[in-house]
Structure 1
Amino acid sequence: MPIPNAGTPPSYYVHPASLVETTDIGAGTLIWAFVHVLDGVSIGTNSTICDHCFVENGVVIGSNVTLKCGIYLWKGVTLEDNVFLGPNVVFTNDLHPRSKNTNFVLASTLIQQGASIGANSTVLAGVTVGRYALSGIGSVITRNVRDYALVYGNPARQHGWVDENGHKLSAAEEGIWISPETGSRYQETAAGLVPLSAV
């Protein structure tokens, strides 16, 4: 798809039916209809924000990120590069919410590189979802998720491991996992999996 405005500043596209108050947007990013992005938001290159999303000030969105429709990102949320959020993923940022409370403390939530959150999942404030982790649809993520972990359910629990493409891994030997799709091997650690070439 050709990118409107390509080659002339700005080099990103904002649909005329959206309201975007930040200019900190990388080249090739597409922002579609009925999106509201507040000032103070940072968005990387080649990201896509689909219809009916809201992004609050202070949010950081990396490069090659995809936000499907109906997602609200609140202050304190950071999405690293290559993150995918399915439709209607829900975030929170206040562990003790009260109406009209002026003495609030917001928690920071981090979705790390390459992670994917399934449609209609809810992410508790303060949680970190690890690199290349994958949550199934409708998951309620109430605790940190390890790198490459496959989680689903309410509350979300780990049900295996996935590779960078989201394919479920098989056990090869004690502490070693293998991708049936690519043959890549991974070593299990306390933080999650590590590709053997990186160990």
Structure 2
Amino acid sequence: MEYTAHPSAVIDDGAKIGRGSRVWHFVHVCAGAVIGENVSLGQNVFVGNSVIIGDKCKIQNNVSVYDNVTLEDGVFCGPSMVFTNVYNPRSFVERKNEYRNTLVKKGATLGANCTIVCGVTIGEFAFVGAGAVVNKDVPAYALMVGVPAQQIGWMSEYGERLDLPLSGEAVARCQHTNVSYVLSGNQLRHVGI
């Protein structure tokens, strides 16, 4: 084994877990899951069958990553945040053939207790605040808060708020890394130092 797993973890035969990953107490990883290298699965995490988790992701305690969720490299899932996979569930209606795909792109942060409604895409390095409910696609670098989540700003790759309007033409520099970002319309892009 090239990863570390606590004895209380249940890892079903067939699950793929990359080198250097850590699987903590009471985790359940289903047989079809694909987990990258250097991933941390905190206490009481569940990973479904049709789940892909990229390298260097951190999934904090009490998170269930349900079928049809894909996390690209470097995604942070805060404690007790929630993914869904059925848009309109009813206990007496079988909807397993209606799962919607959810994609969380590279470097995104999903804050503690936020909810990601299935079928959305969270852009690269987006930042979803604690307790927010995301029910629509989120642009790259966007800072989202509230119920339902609304964009209130932009975040750097370092995780610091940038001094930019929500839309227009502007340039900002991350105070910690000196990296520049260019806003054009309602899209932000990283342009380097």
| Same-fold call, TM cutoff 0.5 | yes
1:65-84 matches, within 5 Å, as: 65-84=57-76
Assess if the C-alpha contact under 8 Å between 1:171 and 1:178 holds in 2: no
**Cα–Cα, structure 1 residues 35 and 46, in superposed 2: closer, same or farther, change >3 Å?**
same
Unaligned runs of 5+ in 2: none
Q: Secondary structure at the match of 1:175?
A: strand
CA shift at 1:96, angstroms? Answer: 2.1
Which residue of structure 2 aligns with residue 19 of structure 1?
10
RMSD of the alignment, in Å?
A: 1.9
Match of 2:137?
Answer: 144
In 2, Cα distance between equivalents of 1:78 and 1:149: 19
Indicate the residue corresponding to 1:110 in structure 2.
103
Determine if contact 1:170/1:180 at 8 Å carries over to the other structure. Answer: no
Contact 2:15 2:29 in 1 (8 A): no
Task: Give deviations 1:39-97, integer Å, cap 9, x for gaps.
Answer: 00000000000101111111000100000000011111000000000000101011121
Residue 97 of structure 1, aligned match among 86, 89, 108: 89
Q: Deviations over 1:157-199 (max 9, x none)?
A: 111111111101123993322212222211224673111249x
Gaps of 5+ in 1: 1-9
Which structure has greater strand proportion? 2
- Secondary structure of residue in 2 paired with 1:151: strand
Say whether residues 1:53 and 2:48 are aligned partners.
Answer: no
Same amino acid, percent of matched pairs: 37
Cα distance, 1:35–1:157 mapped onto 2, change above 3 Å: same
Aligned residues: 189
Equivalent pair of 2:169/2:184 in contact (CA under 8 Å) = no
Partner-residue secondary structure (3-state), 1:159: strand
TM-score of the two chains, using structure 2 as the length reference = 0.92
Query: Deviations along 1:135-171, whole A, 9 cap, x unmatched?
Result: 1111111111110111111111111111111101123
In structure 1, the partner of 2:126 is 133
